Chains A and B, each alone.
Chain A
Amino acid sequence: QSVLTQPPSVSAAPGQKVTISCSGSSSNIGNNYVSWYQQLPGTVPKLLIYDNNKRPSGIPDRFSGSKSGTSATLGITALQTGDEADYYCGTWDSSLSAGVFGGGTKLTVL
């Protein structure tokens, strides 16, 4: 059971928009920055979003992040088949003194 809760799967058609939620508590998301990672099949995780809504160099602006209270959201617009991957949220949990990840969300682009 992950500390952060994500939906197991989401799906949408090419060109559409999808959002992935990440729910936590005051000890993690509520008081710490959130990051998001993309893991394409058979590859290493890749940082998509850090500090709630910042994109590393090279990440297209189709990817966005937001946070409200104890929840965070990853948004992906103009979906492409190449976006099919597992997506994870992550943050620090101040009560656990530990890094925490969500269980992951599998995105299917139909």
Chain B
Amino acid sequence: EVQLVESGGGSVQPGGSLRLSCAASGFMFSSYEMNWVRQAPGKGLEWVSYVSSSGSTIFYAASVEGRFSISRDNSKNSLYLQMNNLRAEDTAVYYCGRRGDSSGYYVDYWGQGTLVTVSS
């Protein structure tokens, strides 16, 4: 069974940092591209970042470019999101998601999410 379990969320002041982790199991993690998607309270889904299976290709949403950094450790079946210089508008539930292996871009499995609250 595919499982994605996020951790590392919490409350932080504006300008602070957090590192999110996503532990993957039930599939060959090193073969799959991964993503972070967030959802602000009461709002819709917002794509945040993508990393290829090897980690060599990375993309970010314009709203987080230069502040967030995605990475992965295939030896540990883990995905990470380092978030620096956090802003109030970064407050959201952050989901780790696996890209499906068919032709299109889509997320076929989602973690349960971890809440990040940025407030003074």
Contact = CB atoms under 8 A, between A and B. Distances in A.
A and B associate: yes
Interface of A: 2, 32-35, 37, 39, 44-47, 50-52, 54, 56, 86, 88, 90-92, 96-104
A104 B102 contact: no
Could you say which of A50, A54, A97 has the most chain B C-beta atoms within 10 Å of its C-beta? A50
Given A97-B59, A99-B50, A50 B45 contact: no
Contact of A37 (B45, B50, B111, B113): B45
B110 A99 contact: no
Interface of B: 35, 37, 44-47, 50, 59-62, 95, 100, 102-113
Contacts of B113: 44
The prevalent SS among residues of A at the interface is strand
A35 B44 contact: no
A46 B62 CA distance: 25
Could you say which of B35, B59, B106 has the most chain A C-beta atoms within 10 Å of its C-beta? B106
Nearest to A3: B47
Nearest to B112: A44
B45 A88 contact: yes
Contacts of B44: 2, 86, 88, 101-104
A47 B108 contact: yes
A54 B95 CA distance: 23
A2 B47 CA distance: 11
A51 B102 contact: yes
Contact of A45 (B45, B103, B105): B45
A47 B105 contact: no
A92 B105 contact: yes
A46 B107 CA distance: 9
A99 B108 contact: no
Contact of B104 (A44, A86, A91): A91
A34 B113 CA distance: 23
